[in-house]
Amino acid sequence: MALIGKSGPSVSQKTDLTLNAPAESTNISAQFLEPVSRGPSAGVSEKSFRLHSGVRAPFPWSNTMLSWQRTGYHFQPEKNWMNDPNGPMFYGGWYHFFYQYNPDAAVWGNIVWGHAVSKDLIEWLHLPLAMVADHWYDTNGVWTGSATLLSDGQVIMLYTGATNESVQVQNLAYPADLSDPLLVDWVKYPGNPVLVPPPGIDDRDFRDPTTAWYGPDGKWRIAIGSKVNKTGISLVYDTEDFKKYELIEGVLHAVPGTGMWECVDLFPVSLKEDNGLDTSFNGPGVKHVLKASLDDDKNDYYAIGTYSLESGNWTPDNPNLDVGIGLRYDYGKFYASKTFYDQNKQRRILWGWIGETDGESADIKKGWASVQSIPRTVVFDKKTGTNILQWPVEEIKSLRKSCKKFDKLEVGPGSVVTLELEKATQMDITAEFEIDKEALKRIGESDMEYSCSTSGGSAQRGELGPFGLLLLADEGRCEQTPVYFYVAKGTDGQLKTFFCTDESRSSLANDVDKRIFGSTVPVIKGEKLSMRILVDHSIIESFAQGGRTCITSRVYPTKAIYGAAHLYLFNNATSANITASIQTWAMKSAYIRPYSSHAF
């Protein structure tokens, strides 16, 4: 599968390209020269037991390597396991964030709701646990849920509880004291559960209630994901008081073959304006995004369509790109995501759970697992009409310092340019690329459809790619994580642009995931190829064409850490010259600490 890259011509003042084949697999099979010991077969105990010669011992993660992995500015609790984002909202002058949390270990279990607040979605104060598993209806899990803010100031929190018999039910909770802007204490409605699985729905396929939207006849509506056989569906309920519900006949939508729909989300986007819309908004000039987290493949899928309050159905604009079979929010590690309407700044904001892709034993050793993505604004992509755009919230810029600009760097085929030799572990990078026009005209037709995940990554050379940035690369580039564009002519004669992240050489360790992933990204005529990358230790979030295609990656280098992590620009195309303009900022760490009354 992997093609061996040929080394290109060396360019003066630039480092020789050493982007050859991906590192040998470290899954060395036992084919070495140790004689089989004769002890056991002769019926006596093992006399000459030793480590197999020539075989690399299991990767010895040092504390230095592990502690480097912790992020500088992404949300994560001080320790232990986290998963789904829950009930995000803006209330009382604070952004509230809740999350699935294990207070006892760095693996999933004993799940409760963690809670933190922020003024700017970047600096966070950890608060006491909001909800724990203390009733029969949530004793086996206080699982995912969403917040609805009512116009009279009430805050409704609906969440899934796993009962003492492991039945999935929906429960209602609300703040104990609405005058406390921090909403520290929560009360569970004595009449819980407010919803149990309806007939025809399995006890274990009924979870993750959404934020409510205002329905017809003065009622509220919520959606809950489920499945029937292998068809993923979303049920809809009407309610007036969030205590009594009526199942609406039919479903919001269903897509065969997609399996269980977790963390369903339905929200409006404006076709004309750049601001977000309240969840209840509907009317002309509005489309609705329907999203589901597919249990079967652990990815988040979305589709753009039309929601009708009268019929209660949502219909996709393009059935070929329906929920679960079309576009993804993110082509890397990104799951259980949830949006909320930020009425403070009129934005729709997306949170995504970014799990670990290293071994659980490393997580246990380092004492924590999982981070959240940097919150992203979500808007309709007016230029394509078929995508949404995700972009890190503006407030992240407050962490930027020491900017460096590289204007119109010319990078010939097969070369690497050093950009940053210091502090390349916490960065915000924007880059624009142009391919020389002659190369674009010259390109022949490819008879093979390229795909990031089946390619040889950044080592597979084409006429017009790959080119991009090498992140978290050590000086010898034994470890590197390329994020790049690859332009090719498809079998239909049209130019296609791919945006990929290549983890195959991100680490010398043999016990971490090392995948190559990405997707095509639509490029409108006249647009330059652009990417933005947030590097923050073991997480890399990449955005192409203003957020049309996003890739989040977790990497665990062993050498390219601390001061040894550098940033390079590369062009591994065989034919094209690339002109790149790049801006880099070092990023300060964000203040993410437990709340104390002395904090301010």
Partner 1 sequence: MRSSVFLLCVVGLSLTQIQFSSADLVDQTCKQTPNYDLCVKTLRADPRSSKADVTGLALVMVDTIKAKATATLDRINGLLGTTPDPKTKAALSHFVELYDNAVLKADIPSAIEALKKGNPKFAEQGINDAANEADSCDRAFGGASPITSFNRNVSDLSRVASAIIRLLS
Q: Closest approach of Cβ 220 to partner 1, in Å?
A: 27
Report the amino acid identity of residue 204: R
- Binding residues among 323-362 for partner 1 as defined by CB under 8 A: 359-361
Task: Decide if residue 50 touches partner 1 (CB under 8 A).
Answer: yes
Is the Cβ–Cβ distance between 400 and 428 less than 8 Å? Answer: yes
Site string for partner 1, 284-303 (x = CB under 8 A): -----------xx-x-----
CA distances from 527 to 74, 213, 435, 523, 544 (A): 30, 37, 12, 6, 12
Instruction: Give the Cα separation of 469 and 582 in Å (integer).
Output: 10
DSSP annotation of 63 reads H
Task: Decide if residue 272 touches partner 1 (CB under 8 A).
Answer: no
| 3-class secondary structure per residue, 349-401 | EEEEEECCCECHHHHHHHCEECEECCCEEEEECCCCCCCEEEEECHHHHHHEE
Instruction: Give the Cα separation of 313 and 254 in Å (integer).
Output: 10
Indicate the helix (H) or strand (E) that contains 267. Answer: strand 261-270
Among 203, 273, 434, 475, binds partner 1 (CB under 8 A): 203
Task: Decide if residue 204 touches partner 1 (CB under 8 A).
Answer: yes
Compute φ and ψ for 538, nearest 5 degrees: -80, 10
Q: Closest approach of Cβ 370 to partner 1, in Å?
A: 12
Q: Is 84 a catalytic residue?
A: yes
Task: Decide if residue 57 touches partner 1 (CB under 8 A).
Answer: yes
Instruction: Give the Cα separation of 8 and 268 in Å (integer).
Output: 49
Task: Decide if residue 198 touches partner 1 (CB under 8 A).
Answer: no
Q: Closest approach of Cβ 507 to partner 1, in Å?
A: 15
Task: Decide if residue 230 touches partner 1 (CB under 8 A).
Answer: no
Site string for partner 1, 393-412 (x = CB under 8 A): --------------------
Instruction: Give the Cα separation of 600 and 117 in Å (integer).
Output: 14
Residue placing its CB nearer to partner 1 in the complex, 169 or 290: 169
Residue placing its CB nearer to partner 1 in the complex, 56 or 401: 56
Task: Decide if residue 278 touches partner 1 (CB under 8 A).
Answer: no
Task: Decide if residue 43 touches partner 1 (CB under 8 A).
Answer: no
Using alpha carbons only, give the angle 354, 19, 584 rounded to the nearest 5 degrees.
55
Residue placing its CB nearer to partner 1 in the complex, 81 or 91: 81
Q: Closest approach of Cβ 505 to partner 1, in Å?
A: 20
Among 70, 103, 108, 120, binds partner 1 (CB under 8 A): 108
Among 260, 269, 483, 544, binds partner 1 (CB under 8 A): 260
CB neighbour list of residue 275: distance below 8 Å, 6 or more residues apart: 346, 347
Catalytic residue among 16, 84, 278, 513: 84
Is the Cβ–Cβ distance between 91 and 181 less than 8 Å? Answer: yes
Helix, strand or coil for residue 127? strand
Q: Closest approach of Cβ 364 to partner 1, in Å?
A: 5
Residue placing its CB nearer to partner 1 in the complex, 203 or 278: 203
Q: Which stretch binds partner 1 (CB under 8 A): 162-170, 378-386, 488-496, 579-587?
A: 162-170
Q: Closest approach of Cβ 440 to partner 1, in Å?
A: 44
Q: Closest approach of Cβ 30 to partner 1, in Å?
A: 4
Task: Decide if residue 589 touches partner 1 (CB under 8 A).
Answer: no
Task: Decide if residue 30 touches partner 1 (CB under 8 A).
Answer: yes
Task: Decide if residue 106 touches partner 1 (CB under 8 A).
Answer: yes
Q: Closest approach of Cβ 328 to partner 1, in Å?
A: 18
Compute φ and ψ for 40, nearest 5 degrees: -60, -40
Under rule CB under 8 A, how many of the chain's residues touch partner 1? 46
Q: Closest approach of Cβ 243 to partner 1, in Å?
A: 25
Site string for partner 1, 10-29 (x = CB under 8 A): -----------------xxx
Is the Cβ–Cβ distance between 168 and 208 less than 8 Å? Answer: no
Indicate the helix (H) or strand (E) that contains 439. Answer: helix 437-442
Reading the block at residue 534, the tokens are: 């947030």
Is the Cβ–Cβ distance between 175 and 150 less than 8 Å? Answer: no
Site string for partner 1, 500-519 (x = CB under 8 A): ----------xx--------
Task: Decide if residue 162 touches partner 1 (CB under 8 A).
Answer: yes
Among 25, 49, 444, 492, binds partner 1 (CB under 8 A): 49
Q: Which residue has the tokens 């789904």?
A: 84
CB neighbour list of residue 36: distance below 8 Å, 6 or more residues apart: none
Strand ranges, E, within 44-123: 80-91, 94-102, 112-118
Q: Closest approach of Cβ 339 to partner 1, in Å?
A: 22
Q: Hey, how many other C-beta atoms are within 10 angstroms of the C-beta on 287?
A: 16
Q: Hey, how many other C-beta atoms are within 10 angstroms of the C-beta on 440?
A: 16
Is the Cβ–Cβ distance between 269 and 378 less than 8 Å? Answer: yes
Is the Cβ–Cβ distance between 435 and 406 less than 8 Å? Answer: no
Among 10, 18, 62, 166, binds partner 1 (CB under 8 A): 166
Give the residues across from 369 on adjacent strands. Answer: 81
Task: Decide if residue 434 touches partner 1 (CB under 8 A).
Answer: no
Question: Beta 388-392 vs 566-571: how paired, if at all?
Answer: unpaired
Give the binding site for partner 1 (CB under 8 A). 27-30, 32, 34, 36-37, 40, 46, 49-52, 55-58, 60, 105-110, 140-141, 143, 162, 166-168, 203-204, 259-260, 295-296, 298, 359-361, 364-365, 510-511
Task: Give catalytic residues, as residue numbers.
Answer: 84
